[in-house]
Amino acid sequence: MTVVALRPKAKIMADAAPKNVIDVKDLSLVFQTNDGPVNALSNIDLAVNSGEFVSFIGPSGCGKTTLLRVIADLEQPTSGSISVNGMTPSQAREKRAYGYVFQAAALYPWRTIGGNISLPLEVMGIPKEERKARIAKNLELVNLAGFDKKFPWQLSGGMQQRASIARALSFDPDMLLMDEPFGALDEIVRDHLNEQLLKLWAKTQKTVIFVTHSIPEAVFLSTKIVVMSPRPGRIHEIIDCNLGSERTLDIRETPEFLEIAHRVREGLRHGHSYDEAHL
């Protein structure tokens, strides 16, 4: 490709063919435990294009978090191939290709909110003035402007998780990997953050991979829903889902939304996710 962009991350998606950022082929991962081997992931094939919002949904034990961690190079696959931005996951991690948002905010309690957002920037050797500017910019992005001097415990759970998203965005990675980021929050906060995340995604045009076990959340946010099923962890079905760019929470009452939610639920059911043995 001869895309010599002036800006390193020029968004040229509009007219160019979508760029493949994640390519997983026949990937398996077996954990060796005391109770014998566990097939956490089995024969996974998945392609994610630049700018997509992809959700992994499924019950506990379906390997959705493990798959995310493989992409992040936090777990090593047993067999198969995976490329992230055309590189191995480990090279991609070394190039800081992604920001990772954990289930808990995982803010360092001894650092202020600003200090936490500064953490990856310090690790990456970004000078102080630049760090300040990025802290301000990213706090603004998650509607936390003015909170940089507060310590994590002074913020609510939802605010903490927003701060952790700001931290993941602070070094401007191409990709955002999110592992049930709103799982621990109550539904009202969760709805609100879903809307905010959608706006953020539209604004930043990042590729987002989002692990969840909430069907409405997945349908509301995603352009593509990967339905997974357990034992062994595998992909059951991939459902395209695009409810238009101008979504609000009201869309969850529309027939289109309910139709896709129904398909996801059917997918989960056929993947035996509702079987008694798996609950």
| Measured distance CA(141)–CA(200) in Å, rounded | 7
Least distance (Å) between residue 112 CB and another protein: 7
Q: Which of 16, 17, 87, 124 binds another protein (CB under 8 A)?
A: 124
Least distance (Å) between residue 242 CB and another protein: 29
Tell me how far apart the terminal alpha carbons of the chain are, to the nearest angstrom: 48
Scan residues 142-201 and list those touching another protein (CB under 8 A). Answer: 151, 153, 171
Closest CA to 215 of 162, 178, 269: 269
Q: In which order are the strands placed within the sheet that holds 207-212?
A: 98-101, 175-179, 207-212, 53-57, 224-229, 234-240
Closer to another protein by Cβ: residue 208 or 225: 208
Helices (DSSP H) in 82-147: which residue ranges?
89-94, 113-123, 128-141
φ, ψ at 118 (rounded to 5°) = -75, -20
Interface segment toward another protein; rule CB under 8 A; list 89-97, 132-140, 212-220, 246-254: 89-97
Least distance (Å) between residue 179 CB and another protein: 10
| Measured distance CA(101)–CA(197) in Å, rounded | 12
> Residues 139, 127: contact at Cβ < 8 Å?
no
Least distance (Å) between residue 111 CB and another protein: 8
Q: Indicate whether 130 belongs to the interface with another protein (CB under 8 A).
A: no
**Amino acid (one-letter) located at 263:** R
Least distance (Å) between residue 53 CB and another protein: 20
What's the Rg (C-alpha) of the chain? 19
Binding mask 101-120 for another protein (x = CB under 8 A): -xxx-x-xxxxx------xx
Closer to another protein by Cβ: residue 100 or 220: 100
Least distance (Å) between residue 93 CB and another protein: 6
Size of the site for another protein (CB under 8 A): 26
Closest CA to 230 of 260, 180, 275, 168: 275
Least distance (Å) between residue 153 CB and another protein: 5
Q: Which of 94, 187, 256, 259 binds another protein (CB under 8 A)?
A: 94
* H/E stretch holding 64: helix 64-71
Q: Indicate whether 202 belongs to the interface with another protein (CB under 8 A).
A: no
Scan residues 51-80 and list those touching another protein (CB under 8 A). Answer: 72-74
* H/E stretch holding 101: strand 98-101
Closer to another protein by Cβ: residue 120 or 230: 120
> Residues 40, 54: contact at Cβ < 8 Å?
no
Closer to another protein by Cβ: residue 107 or 218: 107
Q: Indicate whether 33 belongs to the interface with another protein (CB under 8 A).
A: no
Positions in the binding site for another protein (CB under 8 A) = 72-74, 93-94, 96, 98-100, 102-104, 106, 108-112, 119-120, 122-124, 151, 153, 171
